[in-house]
Amino acid sequence: MPYPQITIKDIAKALNVSVSTVSRALNNSPDLSEGTKRQISEYARLHNYKPNLVALSMKKQESNVIGVIVPQMIHHFFSSVLEGIMDVAEKEGFSVMLFRSLDNFEKERRSVQQLISSHVCGVLTSMAKETTHYEHFQELVDNHIPVIFFDRICVDIPSNRVVIDDYAGALAATEYLIKTGCKRIAFFCSPLNLEISKNRRGGYLDALSKHGMSVDKELIRICDNYDEAIPVATEMLQSDNRPDAFFAVNDETALGILHATKQLHFKIPEEVSICGFTDGFAAIASDPQLTTVGQSGLDVGRSAMELLVEKIRYKGDTPLLKNKIIKTKLIVRETTR
Amino acid sequence: MPYPQITIKDIAKALNVSVSTVSRALNNSPDLSEGTKRQISEYARLHNYKPNLVALSMKKQESNVIGVIVPQMIHHFFSSVLEGIMDVAEKEGFSVMLFRSLDNFEKERRSVQQLISSHVCGVLTSMAKETTHYEHFQELVDNHIPVIFFDRICVDIPSNRVVIDDYAGALAATEYLIKTGCKRIAFFCSPLNLEISKNRRGGYLDALSKHGMSVDKELIRICDNYDEAIPVATEMLQSDNRPDAFFAVNDETALGILHATKQLHFKIPEEVSICGFTDGFAAIASDPQLTTVGQSGLDVGRSAMELLVEKIRYKGDTPLLKNKIIKTKLIVRETTR
DNA sequence: ATGAAAGCGCTAACAA
DNA sequence: TTGTTAGCGCTTTCAT
């Protein structure tokens, strides 16, 4: 039918009943004669009536739209999280409004404003790297919009959280490197204002001390992408006291290190071991295949959305803070002994 | 301020003026005394007033929300497209409502329904693999909601399109393989109900015939992912009349082929050449690095969104069909001679 | 069993 | 320059 959407008003007029009758029929209200009810539903179906969600949201003062803010789209982990969020959102009947911060504070702030303006019923987000103050998130809380942080959480905002067990993942990876005989283990990480960086570094440091190894500050570098990793790793590998293992906060960085190591013709893993964090497709595509700490973005996304749905549905009844920790799994492939 | 959003009504009451005055002040209407205007804006700013976009959308009968439906999130190309869409959406002041079909017809249909119900002002989409009839898309058109298809386009719906120059990309890649001496070039592609498959096959076939090479049906396989590619490629490589080159519709498939080829200890690229399509991160991470047809998802996303914005803004004035073809670029790395 | 009317937040035509 | 009012689509209370 080449016509714009019809409204309950159109149906009412056509069937010579009142709009309230139509509304009741469409909502399957009990006190209504079967006759009119059938007639109305029939007409609605025939003319392809769809409720106007904007009007509904206006009337009910609540929507079924949740907001999501991620740092970026081209990113294996965040894509996976998004996929997980969509899995649950779809099942539970929520729509997703998507924003992206590009790790920029101002963009993140504006996204939050937009979300408040759009009257979404909840927000899922992973903080931008730049963000160091949190008034915008606080505003969500003030407006009684439930927020769940995942991965890059914000500890200063009372909210629920879904995190990867970064500490345990880093600890396990570092211990594995130690147990396979590595003596000088370098660590490449993101800026330390992020909780995940702190936690992964914590795991790394504790593994060292647990095994009686000293910490060499020279071996800890702020470097978290492929392109930067190449020169940094190259320089380290050419030094007299070179590392014999690298542990990086993500796969891209690990693969940059791998590239540099191959270029310098070190034997992998005999002379140099490398371990990443994420387990994206590239970890399998690389040669040798990358040993890495697998983190399931899907599980993070699903858990976060499940927590949010619960918070939206049972408002107030649930305990204030209920967090979720997603386990990692060390996936040993070919870049470690 | 720990309070819910205030409305123009609240402001009106507080300042003892009418709501229309507040509305005018906030919309910077010319016929209003500077005094009241300043007073109102000041109060609004102070109390953190934000327009209710739901109410606005209701009133104006138009929203600034566009809908996007992609087959899946965990996918380098579609993530890139999404990133491109967000670039432009953000700049032009649109919000994005995201759906995902998982290549399933029913999910796609429901997403479209939801989008219509949500009264979005436009839709960007890439069809599900399963989809073979198009009433749901037609409904968008009937409702005067502009639709732009990208990549997996729908030729049966009057709409604008943004496509990768699949034919030229496949032609160039195949010709390159031929020119570097490959004699038996296999082709791995997606099901042929998709235009992109047809076009890429077209390029492949035309390159062969252009160079006087015959087509061997045995060399053309429906296979478009990593896991399936491994056994299929293995079987082909073990046959008496094995191919000496593979051209795949995406990088994952190419990398599956690469894996199989390495396992069988064929020399790459001397004995077997491999070329993919996409140029994701894995193409660089692999060893040898993958030769592939680079397609810029970012450009596709940006162009699609630009087209959509134009269609939304200058409704009716633009020529009915205005399509955009995004060029590919053959990126020669190490899996070809 | 059904209708009339108010109201969600906002804009705009009309009045004053 | 400012106020009053109707109305966008829908639900819901109160009448009938």
Domain at B151, CATH number:
3.40.50.2300
Provide the pLDDT for residue B320.
Answer: 59
Specify which residue's alpha carbon is closest to the C1' of nucleotide D2.
B21
C-beta atoms of A286 and B287 within 8 A: yes
A34: tokens are 């079967």
Same domain as A154, residue A67: yes
Is A334 inside any structural domain? Answer: no
Is B262 inside any structural domain? Answer: yes
Stated length of chain B: 337
CA distances from A70 to A98, A107, A112, A116 (A): 8, 11, 11, 16
Provide the pLDDT for residue B318.
Answer: 54
Q: Would you call the peptide bond into A30 cis, given omega within 30 degrees of 0 as the criterion?
A: no
User: Token pair 């409204």 is at which residue?
Assistant: A7
B60: tokens are 């104006």
Which run of H or E residues covers position B66? strand B65-70
Is B2 inside any structural domain? Answer: no
Where in the sequence is the domain holding A231, given as residue range(s)? 166-295
Q: A2: distance to nearest CA of chain B, Å?
A: 5
CA distances from B81 to A187, B10, B302, B305, B328 (A): 33, 42, 7, 10, 14
Residues 6+ apart with CB under 8 A from B297: A74, B76, B77, B78, B79, B80, B81, B83, B84
C-beta atoms of A57 and B54 within 8 A: yes
* A249 and A272 Cβ atoms separated by less than 8 Å: no
Query: Strand runs (DSSP E) across chain A, as ranges?
Result: 65-70, 95-100, 122-125, 147-150, 160-164, 185-189, 220-222, 245-248, 273-278, 291-294, 324-326, 329-331
Cβ contacts from A onto B, under 8 A: 146
C-beta atoms of B53 and A90 within 8 A: no
User: Token pair 């032009």 is at which residue?
Assistant: B92
Provide the pLDDT for residue B321.
Answer: 64
Closest B-chain CA to A77: B74
Q: Which residues of B touch A276 (CB under 8 A)?
A: none
Q: How many domains does chain B have?
A: 3
Q: What is the tens place of the pLDDT at every residue in B133-152? A: 999 999 999 999 999 999 99
Total Cβ atoms within 10 A of residue A309: 21
Is A322 inside any structural domain? Answer: yes
Same domain as B202, residue B286: yes
Distance A36 CA to D16 C1' (A): 19
Same domain as B177, residue B75: no
Is B57 inside any structural domain? Answer: no
Distance B181 CA to C12 C1' (A): 72
Q: Would you call the peptide bond into B269 cis, given omega within 30 degrees of 0 as the criterion?
A: yes
Amino acid sitting at position B245: A
C-beta atoms of B95 and A97 within 8 A: yes
pLDDT at B227 over 50: yes
Distance B224 CA to D8 C1' (A): 49
Q: Give the C-alpha separation, B301 to B77, whole Å.
A: 10
Same domain as A77, residue A39: no
Q: Give the C-alpha separation, A193 to A101, whole Å.
A: 17
CA distances from B188 to A43, A48, B262 (A): 49, 42, 18
Higher pLDDT, A191 or B72: B72
B233: tokens are 């490629």
Among A221-230, B13-22, B173-182, B309-318, the least confident range: B309-318
- In DSSP terms, which residues pair with A247 in a beta bridge? A187, A275
Single pTM value for the model: 0.92
Same domain as A170, residue A284: yes
Same domain as A214, residue A286: yes
End-to-end CA distance of chain A: 66
pLDDT at B245 over 60: yes
Q: Which residues of B touch A82 (CB under 8 A)?
A: 73, 98
Q: Give the C-alpha separation, A64 to A79, whole Å.
A: 22
Q: B214: distance to nearest CA of chain A, Å?
A: 33
Provide the pLDDT for residue A1.
Answer: 46
Q: What is the tens place of the pLDDT at every residue in B88-124? A: 999 999 999 999 999 999 999 999 999 999 999 999 9
Closest nucleotide to A19: CA versus each C1': C3
- Each of the 337 residues of chain A gets a pLDDT tens digit; together they read 446 799 999 999 999 999 999 999 999 988 888 899 999 999 999 999 999 999 999 999 999 999 999 999 999 999 999 999 999 999 999 999 999 999 999 999 999 999 999 999 999 999 999 999 999 999 999 999 999 999 999 989 989 999 999 999 999 999 999 999 999 999 999 988 888 899 999 999 999 999 999 999 999 999 999 999 999 999 999 999 999 999 999 999 999 999 999 999 999 999 999 999 999 999 999 999 999 999 999 999 999 999 999 999 886 655 556 899 999 999 999 999 9
Q: Give the C-alpha separation, B310 to B67, whole Å.
A: 15
From B5, B98, B297, residue closest to A96, measured CB to CB:
B98
Same domain as B311, residue B224: no
Q: Give the C-alpha separation, A150 to A230, whole Å.
A: 29
Q: Give the C-alpha separation, A150 to A304, whole Å.
A: 7
Q: Give the C-alpha separation, A239 to B169, whole Å.
A: 45
Same domain as A309, residue A291: no
Is A209 inside any structural domain? Answer: yes
Same domain as B302, residue B276: no
Same domain as A159, residue A181: no
| A13: nearest Cα among A43, A35, A52, A58 | A43
Is B149 inside any structural domain? Answer: yes
Same domain as A257, residue A208: yes
- Which of the 8 DSSP states describes residue B238? H
End-to-end CA distance of chain B: 66
Write the DSSP assignment of B15-58 as a string of letters. Answer: HTS-HHHHHHHHTT-SSS-HHHHHHHHHHHHHTT----HHHHHH
Protein residues closer than 7 Å by CB to strand C: A 16-21, 24, 31-33, 35-37, 58-59, 61; B 7-9, 19-20, 23, 26-27, 51-52, 55-56, 58-60
C-beta atoms of B286 and A281 within 8 A: no
User: Token pair 């979720």 is at which residue?
Assistant: A324
Is B277 inside any structural domain? Answer: yes
Q: What is the mean pLDDT of residues B177-194?
A: 94
Amino acid sitting at position B295: Q
Same domain as B257, residue B314: no
| A77: nearest Cα among A278, A248, A328 | A278
C-beta atoms of B73 and A79 within 8 A: yes
Which run of H or E residues covers position A125? strand A122-125
